[in-house]
Structure 1
Amino acid sequence: MKAPAFWYRPPGLAAALLGPLGALYAAGARRRLAGTAPQGVGIPVVCIGNLVAGGAGKTPLAQAVMRRLLVRGIRAHYLSRGYGGRLRGPVQVNPAAHVAADVGDEPLLLSRSAPAWISADRLAGARTARDGGAQAVVMDDGFQNPALAKDLSLLVVDGGAGFGNGRVIPAGPLREELADGLARAHGVVIVGADRTGAGARAAGLAPAVPVLAARLVPDADVAATLAGRTVLAFAGIGRPQKFFDTCRDMGLSLARGVPFPDHHPYTESEIGRLLDQAADLGATPLTTEKDWVRLPPAVQARVTALPVVLTFQDDGALDALLDRVTRDIPRDTSRDTDG
């Protein structure tokens, strides 16, 4: 579903009319969280969440956290709900056997770098990961899920969109009241230029919660291969315009940018039409990694994926947060890539 445009404009008539429903939604979220006692699983759980409906950059942050844990010699596993997949789990993602329609696009992408589990029941999923050898869990989404205790919760904010109009669904994009969410967070990560003042707003409401600045950087090898090319870019992510802006920032000639809804299940006929358009334009078909794993296998080889890496203005700030919850974990020095 595409987010209503008024969610990302100053509050107006639509937000005011829907305000009472937003208040009910916020009250329901508050009751659900207060009415459930979170349970731990005996290993640290790092939750990568957000406060708005739709994507904000959670998956790249989950990957960045995983890289740091692996460098520390910690056997960490991913955990995801598996949105968009038919399996409820708990089940370990097998990229050789599963497709996005089975387990969802994000878990399939995450499974390339570490063991990944999907489970509609997050608590059961974390227990299964622990029993499968995980020393820590990196959970992609699930900040509003009350069943599983989180040892470290990092909130991702799209710097271009911020917290929208600051209202709760359906009056705005927030899944819960901003102050309520920030009260449970241990860190806020602003991805991209903070064009809405979200960092200052978060710091004002939760002064003790550090705000980290980060940006998405295209993979250098793929960027070099694409240098000077004309591309037809398409994306079905939370905010496709971010991907199109990235293409322009790389110096690519963007012949066309085609947006799709978040997690859109592509068909062969859709991609066939895009490939025909790209050929007519003399352009390279280009998409995100998350979109690429949702493509029908028969056409994947004809589309280029652009991997991105989340980099931080201050790496030490993220390391300090992770150190709080991982310092007592025995390290497997044979996996340590830090030298």
Structure 2
Amino acid sequence: MAVRDPAFWWTPPDRSGLASFCLAPLAAIYGAVAAARMRRPGVRAGAPVICVGNFTLGGAGKTPLAIWLARMLTDTGATPALLSRGYGGSLTGPVRVDPASHSARDVGDEPLLLARAAATIVSHDRVAGAAAAIDAGASTVIMDDGLQNSALAKDLTIAVVDGARGVGNGRVFPAGPLRAPLAAQMPHVDALMVIGDGGGARAVIDAASSAGARVFYGCLEPDRAALTSLHARKALAFAGIGNPEKFFATLGEAGIEAPVRRAFPDHHRYGAADAAALIAQADRDDLDLLTTEKDLARMAGDPQLANLAARAKALPVVLAVRDAAEFRGFVLSKIRR
């Protein structure tokens, strides 16, 4: 079951408190194992592999970047395929995602969004997944997540960082949000994509620059066409993603009034009680129901959530990359070697 991140993960190290301190021994063990796994050599796929990952648990913007890369490569005449582990889904794969027949319970929510941009393979075994993608005609494989998984050799690894939260208290799970010590992860990273202004990510930006990784910046922008219909009424906004506050902030920046906001854990699987409570409050307060594309995808195909899915609207967001031409040239130079 998905749980919320502890608040102390995202506070400065000197204010992380007793819980983080007491968890330090477990974090040391977890970090050592994760770092050792990252040092293992990976299998070559037979086609360029781009990994879009992040240093921490939770959301940072990997999926929008993976979609941006897939569309950019398609524009160059390449045939990209997206590779996902399919977190939250029951299928181990390799299986090609078919949004017409698969639900989030089958393949997870993120692959349903990825499949809109390019062929998407779900596979718990990333080597087998890459092989399936190439057998299906892919000229480049884009991994959504997998920075800490060394099974598949990568030609380009881009770490995505939330510009506001950075890497939190800088400690390894469970004492903090890092999946492995930052010093162990950084040598495997070719570039950093900072989503947002970067004010909270100064330490990791400096670490990336010192390690020789390129630093790029982007921001998540709401789809302009969708905004027109969403401005008319106030909303009850709800989200079960890695950082719901980022979604709520996006609404505010877009001028959408959301006096009621409900945050759920990442990858939250909504139930009948959730649906009934959200609909009842929206009706009581005369509010529209507004959520993310991932949350809406997670509801699809569940009869218990049919009413909520029909009532809720999603605000699509897209990644806007600063200095996009420079970033595009960097990516292409890496995978054409």
- The question of a shared fold, defined as TM-score above 0.5 by the shorter chain, is answered with yes
CA–CA separation in structure 2 for the residues paired with 1:92 and 1:178: 33
CA–CA separation in structure 1 for the residues paired with 2:315 and 2:273: 22
Does 1:152 find its partner at 2:156? yes
CA–CA separation in structure 1 for the residues paired with 2:336 and 2:26: 44
SS at match of 1:241: helix
SS at match of 1:253: coil
| Residue 277 of structure 1: aligned partner | 281
Amino acid at match of 1:13: L
The percentage of aligned residue pairs carrying the same residue is 47
Q: Describe the superposition over 1:78-110 as per-residue Cα deviations: whole angstroms up to 9, x where unpaired.
A: 100010000000000111110000000000111
Whether contact under 8 Å (2:155, 2:335) holds in the other structure is: no
Q: What count of residue pairs does the alignment treat as equivalent?
A: 326
1:185 deviates by 0.5
Map 1:321-332 onto structure 2 (within 5 A): 321-327=330-336
Map 1:55-66 onto structure 2 (within 5 A): 55-66=59-70
| Residue 329 of structure 2: aligned partner | 320
CA–CA separation in structure 2 for the residues paired with 1:284 and 1:317: 40
SS at match of 1:138: strand
Q: 1:10 aligns with which of 9, 12, 24?
A: 12
Does 1:240 find its partner at 2:244? yes
Whether contact under 8 Å (2:209, 2:215) holds in the other structure is: no
Map 1:1-339 onto structure 2 (within 5 A): 1-11=3-13, 12-34=17-39, 36-196=40-200, 197-206=202-211, 208-297=212-301, 298-299=306-307, 300-327=309-336
Kindly report the root-mean-square deviation, in angstroms, between the aligned alpha carbons of the 2 structures: 1.5
CA–CA separation in structure 2 for the residues paired with 1:47 and 1:132: 19
Whether contact under 8 Å (1:91, 1:119) holds in the other structure is: yes
Is the deviation greater in 9-18 or in 125-134? 9-18
Amino acid at match of 2:84: S
Q: Describe the superposition over 1:228-270 as per-residue Cα deviations: whole angstroms up to 9, x where unpaired.
A: 4201110000010111111111111112110111011112442
Whether contact under 8 Å (1:49, 1:143) holds in the other structure is: yes
Whether contact under 8 Å (2:86, 2:108) holds in the other structure is: yes
User: Which structure 1 residue ranges, 5 or more long, are not aligned?
Assistant: 329-339
1:198 deviates by 4.1
CA–CA separation in structure 1 for the residues paired with 2:45 and 2:88: 26
CA–CA separation in structure 2 for the residues paired with 1:82 and 1:292: 16
Whether contact under 8 Å (1:107, 1:116) holds in the other structure is: yes
1:20 deviates by 2.3
1:199 deviates by 5.0
1:195 deviates by 2.7
Structure 1 residues 8 and 143: CA distance shift in structure 2, 3 A:
same
1:23 deviates by 1.7
The TM-score with structure 2 as length reference comes to: 0.93
CA–CA separation in structure 1 for the residues paired with 2:5 and 2:277: 26
1:312 deviates by 1.3
SS at match of 2:133: helix
The TM-score with structure 1 as length reference comes to: 0.92
Whether contact under 8 Å (2:186, 2:208) holds in the other structure is: no
Amino acid at match of 2:163: G
CA–CA separation in structure 2 for the residues paired with 1:85 and 1:314: 36
